[in-house]
Amino acid sequence: MKKNTARKLPIAATLRYTLLSFMAFMALAPVYVMVSGSFKTQKQFLDSPLSPPSGFNLGGYKSAWSDSFPTWLLNSFLIVTFSVILTLALASLAAWGFARFPFKGKESLLAIIVSLMVVPPVVLLIPLFKLGVTLSLISTLQIVVFIYMALMLPFSIYMLTNYFKSIPESIIESASIDGASTFQIFRIIVLPLSGAPIATLAVVNLLWAWNELLLALVFLQSNEKKTLMVGLTGFQSRYSLDIPTVMAGMSLATLPLVVAYLFGQRYFISGLTAGSTKGE
Amino acid sequence: MTSLLRPKLSGGNSNRRSALPSREALYWIAPACAVIIFIFGYSIVNLITQSLRYDGDWVGFENFSIVISDPLFLVALRHNLFLLSAVPILVLIAFILAITLFETRRGMRFYRSAVFLPYILPIPVVAVIFGQIYQLNGVLNTFLSSIGLDFLIQDWLGDPDIALGTMGSVIIWKEVGFGVILMLAHLISLPTETYEAAKLDGAGFWRTHFVITRPAIKTTLIFYAVIESITMVSWVFNYVYVMSNGLGGPGNATMVSELYIYRMAFQNNAPELAAAASVFLFAITLILLVAFFKIQRRSISKTFRS
Amino acid sequence: MKLNKSAIVYSAVIALLLTACSSSSEDSASDSFPTEDLTLNISWWGEQEAPGAQKWLEESIALYQEKHPNVTINHTLQTTDGLLPAFEAAAAAQAGPDIQYFWGAIYSQQPGWDGHIAPISDYLSKDELSNYINAEVESGFQGKIWTAPWYVNPSFPLLVRKDILAANGLAVPSTWDDLMKVCDVLSAKKITTLAGGVKDGWFGGWIYSVLGGQSLDSQADVIDAVVGNSKFTDPKHAKWWSKLEESRDRKCWNNDINSLELYQAQQRFVDGKAAMTFTAGPDAPNFVKKAGGDEKVTIIAMPAWTDGPLAGKMGTTSHTFGITKWSKYPQVAADFIKFTHTTERLNAWYATTGSMPADSRFDVSQVTSASTKALFESALDGAPYIESFIPAQLDADAIFKNVQLLLAGKVNATQAAADTQAIMERLRISDRKLVENFTAWSK
């Protein structure tokens, strides 16, 4: 892609880099405080929160990890994996239904689904909690997965429907002539073309589900079922006098996302790019 | 991504497809709709019945009148509104960063990743880190006094007058990266000729971007603004809960509607009042949504006329 | 995109069909001690204030299980901010712990009024319960006793560093005016007199108790104001706000009191950066130890600013265990609670946590430390802990809030009292059973 900075005035460039460096500093400084804090002792942190750690004090990590950390991590992992995969599966099926078939009330149905994006989850909290009680599903991962799916589906369906609509008719046409069924077209042609938007949705949904606190806080009451976010919230109050441990716990909780982002970055960005070009 | 905002305009080839059996659509749509209807449909109906009852008895609109006359609920809504007013700032910052990144070649990837990093951090993590940073004797004030800016020192989270603003700054800090990535993606996909012409005309950086780029990526700007508006009304619980120890303090400075509902239901043992407050909040988001569709339709038709 | 009417109706009908859900009920178990295998769950809090409590609880469970091999007991330690929400959620679910921990008085009463717990007096004899400290005054309700006191919280002792005072030529204050003078001297030298943290709210309630309790005759006064027979703006109930204001203006507190949590602030005292702080009674002996022992630290009650019958006295409240309504084995739960009140267990509690079990059969003579002994004795002759006699929502919404605002300099004493009264009046509207319950409690 060709860049369009014809006039490379040194002043303009300096200004740009100053702005970018400032923003990068703003973005990274708190992360630095977290990571460097995790290697300090309580006293070092309080005395000089900004200086680099004098050594690698792993005490914080040890006490963070020996708490229920591995259990929480596993719970978060299970919930995120199942809810994101199931959401993507159901959303792509539904989106294909919306994009491919005309039927009465289609636009209205889609409009209703989209409007659900704005429903605050807290609104669902009380009825769903009662439902969970009736079905004895409190403190189970299933109910959280199920609710997360419902909350992630509207956006996912909407985005994929628009993407599928943008796939040129000619491609689908030629497959139909070859006698492929609707499902075969979906599986062999549509899905492989949609890697980028699906990857984008996977990342967006993954971030959301991994970070969700409110529902997890209410539905996962027993310690063995808590997600990382719920665990960490209690963790903070339990170790309020032990900042390195808190920071170590926070660093550990962030690590999977950073890794996921580094691996998914290419798909994520190309997915967004593809979405915006093809959507026109 | 931009197509998200134009559902009606993209389904242009429905003539050909009308030959397909419409019943088959049901098989594709049903599973997702079942989940959605089960969760949302059940909740909303149940919520409404619960908001009309107290202790098992039908009480009409009593719960609603209690909630709407509660100063605390009104304060909470006002705080959501305040946070909502931060959305334009958020969009502006993201836009400026996006165009700056767009114009930058060397180090672009690094800066892009740096700016995006906050968006992937878990909110409790963000809230805890900033809780430390914003303490009166915390990282930020230590830093300010070390570079001689003592007059800027504040009790960022402890002073009721500025605590909500501080909270807003944390939300902006975290959310801005998402906007930058969205806009950058759209910018990269734009045809370069548009810019070349402007450059030849000798238009400056700001003029180029505010006159040409801004309308060109308008759909993305609106999309981002909508997503962030939803966040400010419906998704700030995490920040507030962790940063104010679940209290919405100091005083009521950071009480928001979600926290109000949560406390009513799970702290004050008044689920029926929480349900009534939820119905109000739901109605408000619906109004916002309708308003958005109105604005959006107007802006799209305008875009196409010009 | 427009919302089609028929589509809305369509989805509403489906949703309606879904709501037609059934509910189920359970029969209660028989009365004799069961012999089948069973599990009890305990949800509790306290390790935060009585370190060692977890060790003691696990020991007690192990010993009890040895005695009753068919019983398995699990326990979950809750966080401070999570204790109430977790129980509310369990109550809404009518499922969860068999034995639930509660703070004293209102925190033990409210679950009873809401029908979430079965009175302990249905399962333990009057004789047995008469030994449990504070059971009658805090957990009693119309002849019943809701919950069983577990350990005593002398509330709230003021820990004073004699070394810091002496170094500045000061003596341990015995009156309010003495205390204010200490503030003047120390603040001039940039030393914090009283370390506190109100960010998480709780400490605001403590301050209310140690200051606001002084001008009252008994807990009945507070209940009067709650039900509306008197007002929180009456001098009797409001004067303490001006004392708090005075302490703020005399710079008694650390300047970052609003951005610190309670426990973080107490750490200042341990680190020698503040002359005094309040701690939870059970934790006070530990703090004394951490800060250098009896030579350096002394424990006193908040100096009196008035001459009411409760002024200058330590408050006393008991943390309790209740049996939940949904427990299938309430009599086993009660038996376990009774087991924790055997002499061996009472002594073990003191040995493990250094704090006082809530049982008058506990032999105080085994306490060696002078400050601890004084603390225990003051708790036996303590004043009612008044924070626990107002609705929990008033505590959080009015007291926590106005203490934060007053200490931040945003309101004055008059405004704080007026706001408290206004919130109380609202509460009588929004909590439609409040007056009825509190009236019944006071009888």
C443 vs A: CB within 8 A: no
Question: How do strand B53-54 and strand B57-58 relate by DSSP bridges?
Answer: antiparallel
Pick from C380, C404, C420: which residue ends a domain?
C380
B150 vs C: CB within 8 A: no
- Residues spanned by the domain of C359: 38-154+317-380
Is the pLDDT score of C29 beyond 90?
Answer: no
Cα–Cα dist A161/A97, whole Å: 8
Q: Which residue of C has its CA nearest to A224?
A: C76
Pick from B60, B85, B109: which residue ends a domain?
B60
Residue C31 within a domain: no
Pick from C380, C404, C429: which residue ends a domain?
C380
Same domain, yes or no: B29 and B81: no
Chain A partners within 8 Å of C10 (Cβ):
105
Helix A228-238 vs helix A243-278: crossing angle, to nearest 10: 150
C429 vs B: CB within 8 A: yes
Q: How do residues A75-133 score in pLDDT, each as one tens digit?
A: 999 999 999 999 999 999 999 999 888 888 888 898 888 888 878 888 888 889 888 88
Cα–Cα dist B74/B255, whole Å: 10
Q: How confident is the model at residue A154 (pLDDT cuts 50, 70, 90)?
A: very high
C271 vs B: CB within 8 A: no
C13 vs A: CB within 8 A: no
Please name the residues between 56 and 85 in chain A that touch chain B, using a CB distance below 8 Å: none
Residue C1 within a domain: no
User: Are C258 and B155 within 8 A, CB to CB?
Assistant: yes
DSSP B103: T
Cα–Cα dist C399/C414, whole Å: 13
Place of tokens 């310690």: A223
Q: What's chain B's average pLDDT?
A: 84
**Chain A nearest C-alpha distance from C77 (Å):** 9
Is the pLDDT score of A155 beyond 70?
Answer: yes
CB C347 within 8 A of CB C137: no
Cα–Cα dist C399/C208, whole Å: 7
Q: How confident is the model at residue A273 (pLDDT cuts 50, 70, 90)?
A: low
Q: Considering only the C-alpha atoms of chain A, give the largest distance between any 2 of them, rounded to a whole number of Å.
A: 74
pTM of the model: 0.88
Residue C27 within a domain: no
Contacts of B227 (CB under 8 A, 6+ apart): B178
Residue C305 within a domain: yes
Same domain, yes or no: C174 and C108: no
Same domain, yes or no: C135 and C170: no
Mean pLDDT of B46-57: 91
Our count of domains for chain B comes to 2
Pick from B35, B60, B85: which residue ends a domain?
B60
- In three-state form (DSSP H/G/I as H, E/B as E, the rest C), the secondary structure along chain C is CCCCHHHHHHHHHHHHHHHCCCCCCCCCCCCCCCCCCEEEEEEECCCCCCCCHHHHHHHHHHHHHHHCCCEEEEEEECCCCCHHHHHHHHHHHCCCCCEEEECCCHHHHHHHHCCCEECHHHCCCHHHHHCECCHHHHHEECCEECCEEEEEEEECCEEEEHHHHHHCCCCCCCEHHHHHHHHHHHHHCCCEEEECCCCCCHHHHHHHHHHHHHHCCCHHHHHHHHHCCCCCCCHHHHHHHHHHHHHHHCCCECCCHHHCCHHHHHHHHHCCCEEEEECCHHHHHHHHHHCCCCCCEEEECCCECCCCCCCCCCEEEEEEEEEECCCCCHHHHHHHHHHCCCHHHHHHHHHHHCCCECECCCCHHHCCCHHHHHHHHHHHCCEECHHHHCCHHHHHHHHHHHHHHHHCCCCCHHHHHHHHHHHHHHHHHHCCCHHHHHHHHHC
Same domain, yes or no: C411 and C343: no
From the list A50, C382, C116, C79, the residue with the least C-alpha distance to B269 is C116
pLDDT of residue A35: 93
Which of A77-91, A244-258, C76-90, C107-121 has the weakest average pLDDT?
Answer: C76-90
Which of A274-278, C172-176, C287-291 has the weakest average pLDDT?
Answer: A274-278
Chain B partners within 8 Å of A33 (Cβ):
129, 132-133, 139
pLDDT of residue B16: 45
Chain C partners within 8 Å of B54 (Cβ):
432
Same domain, yes or no: B27 and B173: no
> Regarding predicted confidence, which is higher, B1 or A54?
A54
Is the pLDDT score of B10 beyond 50?
Answer: no
Among C7, C21, C80, whose Cβ lies nearest the Cβ of A108?
C7
CB C197 within 8 A of CB C257: yes
Q: How many CA atoms lie within 13 A of C56 on its CB side?
A: 26
Specify burial of residue A18 (Cβ count, 10 A radius: 0-12, 13-18, 19+).
Answer: exposed
Q: How confident is the model at residue A268 (pLDDT cuts 50, 70, 90)?
A: low
pLDDT of residue A89: 96
To 10 degrees, the CA torsion angle through A241, B147, C198, C50? Answer: 10
Residue B244 within a domain: yes
Place of tokens 């408000």: B284
Q: How confident is the model at residue C10 (pLDDT cuts 50, 70, 90)?
A: low
Same domain, yes or no: B51 and B174: no
Best probe of the C interface among B3, B10, B38, B45, by most C CBs < 10 A, is: B45
Our count of domains for chain C comes to 2
Place of tokens 């009417």: C5
CB B233 within 8 A of CB A120: yes
pLDDT of residue A96: 92
Chain A partners within 8 Å of C264 (Cβ):
240-241
pLDDT of residue A82: 97
Residue A78: CB atoms within 10 Å = 14
CB B35 within 8 A of CB A116: no
Q: Which residue of C has its CA nearest to A230?
A: C82
B299 vs C: CB within 8 A: no
Residue C401: CB atoms within 10 Å = 29
Chain C partners within 8 Å of B250 (Cβ):
198-199, 258, 401, 404-405, 408
Mean pLDDT of A2-30: 78
Which of A266-275, B297-306, C286-295, C380-389 has the weakest average pLDDT?
Answer: B297-306
Same domain, yes or no: B54 and B80: no
Residue C244 within a domain: yes
Same domain, yes or no: C95 and C230: no
Among C14, C199, C259, whose Cβ lies nearest the Cβ of B37?
C14
Q: What's chain C's average pLDDT?
A: 90
Residue C17 within a domain: no
Pick from C360, C380, C400: which residue ends a domain?
C380
A234 vs C: CB within 8 A: yes
Q: How confident is the model at residue B5 (pLDDT cuts 50, 70, 90)?
A: very low
User: Are A241 and C263 within 8 A, CB to CB?
Assistant: yes
User: Are C95 and A238 within 8 A, CB to CB?
Assistant: no
Best probe of the A interface among B42, B129, B169, B297, by most A CBs < 10 A, is: B129
- CATH code at position C258: 3.40.190.10
pLDDT of residue A270: 65
Residue C69: CB atoms within 10 Å = 8
Same domain, yes or no: B79 and B174: yes
- CATH code at position B220: 1.10.3720.10
User: Are B155 and C84 within 8 A, CB to CB?
Assistant: no
C15 vs B: CB within 8 A: yes
Same domain, yes or no: B199 and B223: yes
Is the pLDDT score of B230 beyond 50?
Answer: yes
3-class secondary-structure state, position B53: strand
Is the dihedral angle over the CA atoms B182, B188, B191, B192 positive or is it negative?
positive
B267 vs C: CB within 8 A: yes
Same domain, yes or no: C323 and C269: no
Top-confidence range, B25-29, C82-86, C97-101: C97-101
Residue B11 within a domain: no
Same domain, yes or no: B83 and B48: no
Structure-token pair, residue C423: 């919130």
> Regarding predicted confidence, which is higher, C21 or C403?
C403
Q: How confident is the model at residue A271 (pLDDT cuts 50, 70, 90)?
A: low
Residue A57, phi-psi category: left (phi > 0), alpha (psi -120 to 50), beta (remainder): beta
pLDDT of residue C49: 87
Q: How many CA atoms lie within 13 A of A9 on its CB side?
A: 6
User: Are C431 and B249 within 8 A, CB to CB?
Assistant: no
Is the pLDDT score of C5 beyond 80?
Answer: no
Q: How confident is the model at residue A272 (pLDDT cuts 50, 70, 90)?
A: low
Q: What's chain A's average pLDDT?
A: 84
Q: How do residues A182-192 score in pLDDT, each as one tens digit?
A: 888 888 888 88
A265 vs B: CB within 8 A: yes
User: Are A129 and C89 within 8 A, CB to CB?
Assistant: yes
Same domain, yes or no: B34 and B149: no
Cα–Cα dist A188/B31, whole Å: 21
Same domain, yes or no: C68 and C199: no
To which H or E segment does residue B218 belong?
A: helix B218-234
Residue C181 CA to its chain's centroid (Å):
31
Q: How many CA atoms lie within 13 A of C393 on its CB side?
A: 23
Among C16, C89, C258, whose Cβ lies nearest the Cβ of B158?
C258
Which domains does chain A possess?
63-278 (1.10.3720.10)
User: Are A111 and C3 within 8 A, CB to CB?
Assistant: yes
To which H or E segment does residue A231 belong?
A: helix A228-238
From the list C341, C355, C358, the residue with the least C-alpha distance to C64 is C341
Residue C255 CA to its chain's centroid (Å):
26
Same domain, yes or no: B46 and B129: no
Residue B196 within a domain: yes
Structure-token pair, residue A227: 């997600």
Best probe of the C interface among B38, B66, B245, B300, by most C CBs < 10 A, is: B245
Same domain, yes or no: C109 and C121: yes
Identify any residues that bridge with C38 across adjacent strands, giving them in sequence order: C71
Q: How do residues B65-122 score in pLDDT, each as one tens digit?
A: 999 999 999 999 999 999 999 999 999 999 999 999 988 888 888 898 899 899 888 8
Q: Which residue of A has its CA nearest to B291?
A: A115
CB C75 within 8 A of CB C58: yes
Cα–Cα dist A141/A228, whole Å: 13
Chain B partners within 8 Å of C397 (Cβ):
72
Chain C contact partners (≥3 CB pairs within 8 A) = A, B
Contacts of B41 (CB under 8 A, 6+ apart): C11, C12, C14, C15, C18
Is the dihedral angle over the CA atoms C99, C102, C105, C111 positive or is it negative?
negative
Identify any residues that bridge with C118 across adjacent strands, giving them in sequence order: C323
**Chain B nearest C-alpha distance from C37 (Å):** 33
- Whether the upstream peptide bond of residue B250 has omega within 30° of 0, thus cis, is yes
Cα–Cα dist B46/B271, whole Å: 12
Which of B58-62, B189-193, C154-158, C423-427 has the weakest average pLDDT?
Answer: B189-193
From the list C388, C425, C110, C400, the residue with the least C-alpha distance to C223 is C388
Residue B7, phi-psi category: left (phi > 0), alpha (psi -120 to 50), beta (remainder): alpha
A195 vs B: CB within 8 A: no
A134 vs B: CB within 8 A: no
- Residues spanned by the domain of B242: 75-305
Best probe of the A interface among B5, B16, B36, by most A CBs < 10 A, is: B36
Residue B181 within a domain: yes
**Phi, psi dihedral angles at B57 (to 5 degrees):** -100, 150
Q: Which residue of C has its CA nearest to B264?
A: C393
Residue B301 within a domain: yes
Mean pLDDT of C388-409: 96
Q: Which residue of A has its CA nearest to B232?
A: A120
User: Are A276 and B13 within 8 A, CB to CB?
Assistant: no
Structure-token pair, residue C233: 């703006």
Q: Which residue of A has its CA nearest to B228?
A: A118
3-class secondary-structure state, position B54: strand
pLDDT more than 90, % of chain A: 27
pLDDT of residue B152: 93
Best probe of the B interface among A20, A45, A82, A171, by most B CBs < 10 A, is: A20
Amino acid at B29: I
Same domain, yes or no: B99 and B46: no
> Regarding predicted confidence, which is higher, C144 or B238?
C144
Same domain, yes or no: C137 and C230: no
User: Are A102 and B132 within 8 A, CB to CB?
Assistant: no
Q: Which residue of C has its CA nearest to A132?
A: C93
Mean pLDDT of A137-159: 92
Residue B120 CA to its chain's centroid (Å):
15
Mean pLDDT of C298-321: 93
Place of tokens 């020991």: C59
B47 vs C: CB within 8 A: no
User: Are C12 and B42 within 8 A, CB to CB?
Assistant: no
Q: Which residue of C has its CA nearest to B286?
A: C3
pLDDT more than 70, % of chain A: 92
Cα–Cα dist B212/C315, whole Å: 71
pLDDT of residue C1: 39
pLDDT of residue C13: 46
Same domain, yes or no: C164 and C228: yes
Q: How confident is the model at residue A53 (pLDDT cuts 50, 70, 90)?
A: confident
Structure-token pair, residue C150: 């577990």
pLDDT more than 70, % of chain B: 89
